[in-house]
Chains A and B, each alone.
Chain A
Amino acid sequence: MTIRYFLKKIIIKTSLGWIIALLWIVPFIGLLMAAIRPYREIVGGWWNLEPLTITLENFIKAWNGVQAQIPLYQALINGFMIAIPSTAIPLISGAMAAYVFSRFSTKIKNMLFLTIVFLQSVPHQLVLIPLFILYSRTGLLSTYYGVWLVHSAFALPWIILFFRNFFITLPKEFEEAARIDGLTDTQIFFKIILPISAPAIGSVIALQFLWTWNDLLFALTFIKNPDLLPPTVVIATMRSRYQPDWSLLSAAAMLSISVPLAIYALLQKYYVRGLVGGVIKG
């Protein structure tokens, strides 16, 4: 029974697994097929392979922009302009705060920490209107500063919790030795704590970059200048303007997901660890 039984088990389970994977990936195949073929060929269904013309035309059109639409390469640059500082600002300030919370606990610090952690569950809708008014009055509307800061505010609670959970697992001997050597607290943090926290930093970067890159609501609300929009908003606008030119839309969508897919492929380990770690401890 044994070897045969095992082989049979492996074959059945593997094929079932791949059927599930296929089911999950079919929407992407559709997207890809629509993007690499002219619209007239896929209008009756992308699975009809007669005739099959493969073209980069849709990608070129999306990349360079059609009519009033901003070119997608510009949107991709904007996406980086938003996501990089929106990751860096809460990463640094969150790690600093988390370090303070992870050592020498006092009553005030604990209360502050719990309050900040609680703010994790605030829905984005709860800040939109006041910030929109504030930004309109202070000139922060349609600037990246406004978007960076609101992304940072929403990221800080989970980043602080995540780093604090990481810092409390670090052995204190390093810090004590460094203190005897005469390093200041600030030096200890930047020269000792941060370098050994590389895995945690990797997780925060992976998660926060993807979330800010994928964000729609904040960019939609706080950026009213079409030239500054990130891909998510550009694609949503294209949808209402050019539907059903599925080919153009699919090409734009493919271009915009290339960045998160690349980040995920590169930082997968950190991403999953961050997701699981943050969640299970949180």
Chain B
Amino acid sequence: MKYGFTRKFTIFFLLPTLVIISIFLLYPMVFTFYLSFHEWKGAGAPVFVGLKNYITLTQKTVYKVAFINNLLWVALMVPLVIIFGFFLALFLREHVLGATAIKSAIFLGMVIPQVVAGIVFLFIYDPHAGIVNALLQAIGIIKEPIPWLSLKTIHIFGVPISMSIFVIIISSIWVWIGFTMTIYIAAIESIPHELLEAAEIDGLSFFQKVRWVIWPMVKPATTVAILMSIVWALKVFDILYAMGGEAGPPPGTDVLAYRMYIDFIYGKYGIASAIAVILAIMIFTASFILLRKVIRGSGAEHA
């Protein structure tokens, strides 16, 4: 009997994938990289400008704002979705009636379009029709409604950042926590029962069990969840677009993906490409570091 596929079969089965990926993924990637060193309005020949676009990124305030906001997004959202996702999974594991329904409710944010999530949050933060202000006023914490999406500006490393970014980051946690929770539910379920029983027989308290048995056992899941959350936080676009549209984000709430889109529709192809390249490098680095950690088997518990 023959060993292996025929050459004809191999080529025929790989061809559609290779064609689609080459034209619609590889070619544009290379072209974007090329464009990031050029100035181009879409017609004529691109003018080579060296590192000028990248230097502009480090100098102009709009880009610094976008960069810092992305970092804030990663620094705040990732630990919170990991910790809360883990505890939700742990909490919903036993002694909760209707746990499946509760899980589905939390998971809803992952199922709906993010642009709808953005609109939902515009609605709940609205100064007049929004429930957040109404609740806070009812309890007496605030007297006047707060315009959550146009809060005052603070300076981080001398860059003006709108405090509203924190409010928006909270909404992204609402969206994304369903993901980390689901990952942890699956990871906890796959822990051998004997292990948990042994821990109980040894008289470990609940917290000791979590700390010394469950948390170490779900380490691979944690690594993956962190990686995916970082990538998601770096790519965030839809939620903000729902709030700012074609006009661009409210001042001080810019992120790289949104700034890239705005520069792109205004025909600044060179600088928009440079943003895309920087974004890609950040995402590739995150993927690479964490994948290496997975292979080495040393977890990433310092979320």
A contact residues vs B (CB 8 Å cutoff): 6, 9-10, 13-14, 16-18, 20-21, 24-28, 30-31, 34, 42-47, 89-90, 92-94, 96-97, 99-100, 103-104, 112, 116, 119, 121-134, 149-150, 152-154, 156-157, 160, 176, 179-180, 184-186, 189, 210, 213-217, 220-221, 231-232, 235-237, 239-240, 243-244, 246, 249-250, 253, 256-257, 260-261, 264, 268, 272, 275-276, 279-280, 282
Residues A121 and B276 in contact in the complex (CB < 8 Å), given A214-B114, A240-B245: no
- Residues of chain B within 8 A (CB-CB) of A160 are 17
Given known pairs A24-B106, A30-B120, A216-B113, the reply for A129 and B269 (CB within 8 Å) is: yes
- 20 CB-based A-B contacts, threshold 8 Å: A18-B98, A30-B124, A30-B131, A45-B134, A47-B131, A97-B17, A121-B284, A123-B257, A123-B276, A125-B260, A129-B31, A129-B273, A156-B21, A160-B17, A217-B261, A236-B241, A237-B245, A239-B119, A246-B123, A256-B113
Q: How far apart are B4's CB and chain A's nearest CB, in angstroms?
A: 4
By size class, the interface of chain B is 35 or more
Contact between A20 and B88, CB atoms less than 8 A apart: yes
Q: How many whole Å from B172's CB to the nearest CB in chain A?
A: 13
Asked if A185 and B131 sit within 8 Å, CB to CB, the answer is no
User: Smallest CB-CB separation from A43: which chain B residue?
Assistant: B129
Contact B105 A25 (CB under 8 A): yes
What residue in chain A is nearest B22 (Cβ atoms)? A153
Q: Measuring CB to CB, which residues of chain B are less than 8 angstroms from any residue of chain A? A: 1, 3-6, 9-10, 12-14, 16-18, 20-21, 23-29, 31-32, 35, 42, 88, 91-92, 95-99, 101-102, 104-109, 111-116, 119-124, 126, 128-131, 134, 174, 179, 182-183, 186-187, 220-221, 224-225, 228, 231, 234-235, 237-238, 241-242, 245-247, 256-257, 260-261, 264, 269, 272-273, 275-277, 279-280, 283-284, 287
Residues in B with CB closer than 8 Å to A279 are 183, 224-225, 228
How close is A179's CB to chain B, nearest CB, in angstroms? 7
- Asked whether, in the complex, the Cβ of A127 is within 8 Å of the Cβ of B17, the reply is no
Q: Which residues of A lie under 8 Å from residue B24 when comparing CB positions? A: 127, 131, 149-150, 152-153
Contacts of B128 in A (CB 8 A): 43-45
- CB pair B283–A121 under 8 Å, yes or no, is yes
The residue of chain B having its C-beta at the shortest distance from the C-beta of A275 within the complex is B182
